[in-house]
Structure 1
Amino acid sequence: MRRSNRSRERDAEAKPTLPSPTHNTPVTRVCLIGEDGVNLQYELLSRETSREALATYDLERPFENALAVRTVSVGAAVSLLNDLQWYLTRFVEECLVQEPSIDDEEWLSRGLAEQLRNGDVDPEETGEFCKVYGLERPDTSEEEDTARGPGSGSPDDEADEDGSGHPGSAAPELESTDESADESTEEPSERSSDRGVATAFGPQRLVEPLYVRRTDGDLPEYDLRDVEETLVVRLTEAEFTQ
C-alpha cells in the first residue's frame, strides 16, 4: 500500500534532527618540551598527581622528548599548566600553547598565553616578538640515549637500585613530602595513558632558537642551522628582550 505525500511529510516532521558531528572543531594545544637529560614522558606518567591531570587527554609526541595534549581553550590550557606547575619547574624546559584562532602553525609562549587569557593583549598584537627554532631529526642512537636519561642503566634497573620507582627524578631536596607520598611504582609502559602516546609526527628536535621581530608581517629567515623546517613561538616583549 502506497502512503500519501501528506503522511510522509508528517513522519518527516516527527523525526528529531540530530546535530552534525564536529570532528574538525579547532582546539587549543599544549606542548611541553623536556629538559635535556630528562625523560619527560616517564617523569610525568610515573607520578600519580601528574598522571591523573593528564589522564583525560590523548597524549601526542610532536617533538623529541615532548608531550602535547589538546584542550578546549587558551584558558583551559593555562589552567592545565598551572595544575602541573610543580613538575614544570623540575622537568620541563618550555611550555607552548597553540591557539588556531590566532594561528594554526605558530605557537605562543606560556607567558603570552596567560596575557591573552587575562585580556592583557589582543590576538592581533601577539605576532611581533618571536623566536624561531630549527627542527632536526636526531640520530636513532642519540634518541635512545635521551630516552634513557642520565646513567647507563635501564629504568627498571635504576628503579630497583634506588627503590624509588622513578629514575631520573629531581634531587631529593626538590621533592615535596606530599608528592613523594603519592608516587606510583607502576611502570609507565604498562599504563593505558602511556600506550596512548602517538609517535606518528616523528621525534624532530628543536634546536637553536633565533630571536626575531616581525616586520610588515614577515619574519627574517632562520639561518643558524641548515634545516628544512622551523617552529615559530610568539613571545611577550619582556621574554623577547630578556
Structure 2
Amino acid sequence: MSAPVVPPAVTQVCLVGGDCELRYELLSRETARRALSTYDLAEPYTNTLSLTTVSLGAAVSLLNDLNWYLVRFASDALVRDPSISDTEWLSRPLAESIRDGHVLPGETGDTYKLYPIEEGALAAPSFATGEEQFDHENELVVRITEDEYEG
C-alpha cells in the first residue's frame, strides 16, 4: 500500500478590491491579464481575488508585477505563507521584508489589521496589537509592520 500523496505547501495571495470590480479591472488590462494567466483565480470573498503561488518570493514578485494596477484598483494585497502561519496573512510590506531578509519569519511582531467577514465579504478593517485571541472564523487576521500600524 502506498502512502497518501501530500500536496506541497503553497503560498496564497489575496487581493482586496477597492471601489470597483477587481476581477474585471485586472483581467481587462492586457499586462495584468498576462501576469495572472498562469494562475487559477478564485473569489473567497465577494470583494477579493485570490490565487496560489509556489513561494513567498513568487507571491511578492507577482504583486510587484501588478503594482500599477493594485495601486489603482485594490485596497490591499495580502500573502499567506504556510512556513510562517497557516491562519494569519501578511501585509505586502511585511511579506517583502521577510523575503528580503530584513525580518525573520518568527519575528514578525504583534501588530495586526483585522478584516471582519460580513455576509461573505471583507468589511472595513480595524487594528490591534498584542497577543490577542483572534476569531479566525469571522475575521481575516493580517500581520502588519509597525509603520503600517502607525501610518
Amino acid at match of 1:241: E
The TM-score normalised by the length of structure 1 is 0.58
8 Å Cα contact 1:132-1:232 kept in structure 2:
yes
Amino acid at match of 1:84: L
Q: Which has the higher strand share?
A: 2
Q: Matched residues, percent identical?
A: 53
SS in 2 for 1:57: coil
Alpha-carbon distance in 2 for matches of 1:22, 1:236? 36
Offset, 1:208: 3.0
**Alignment partner, residue 133 of structure 1:** 115
1:31 aligns with 2:14: yes
Aligned match for 2:122, one of 179, 199, 206: 206
SS in 2 for 1:111: helix
SS in 2 for 1:134: strand
The TM-score normalised by the length of structure 2 is 0.91
**Alignment partner, residue 93 of structure 2:** 111
Aligned match for 2:144, one of 226, 235, 238: 235
* Runs of at least 5 residues in structure 1 that lack an aligned partner in the other structure: 1-19, 138-203, 223-227
Write out per-residue CA displacement over residues 32-67 of structure 1, whole angstroms, 9 at most, x where no aligned residue.
Answer: 11112x011111111111111001001011112211
Which structure 1 residue ranges, 4+ long, deviate > 3 Å from structure 2?
20-23
Deviates more, 1:38-47 or 1:20-29: 20-29
The 5-angstrom pairing of residues 1-242 of structure 1 reads 23-36=6-19, 38-137=20-119, 204-214=120-130, 218-219=131-132, 229-242=138-151
CA gap of 1:221–1:119, structure 2 versus 1, over 3 A, is closer
**Alignment partner, residue 166 of structure 1:** none
Q: Give the number of the structure with larger relative contact order, counting CA–CA contacts within 8 Å between residues 6 or more apart.
A: 1
Tell me which structure has the larger Cα radius of gyration. Answer: 1
Alpha-carbon distance in 1 for matches of 2:139, 2:6? 28
Alpha-carbon distance in 1 for matches of 2:109, 2:37? 32
SS in 2 for 1:208: coil
CA gap of 1:109–1:213, structure 2 versus 1, over 3 A, is same
Offset, 1:206: 1.2
Q: Which has the higher helix share?
A: 1
Alpha-carbon distance in 2 for matches of 1:115, 1:127? 12
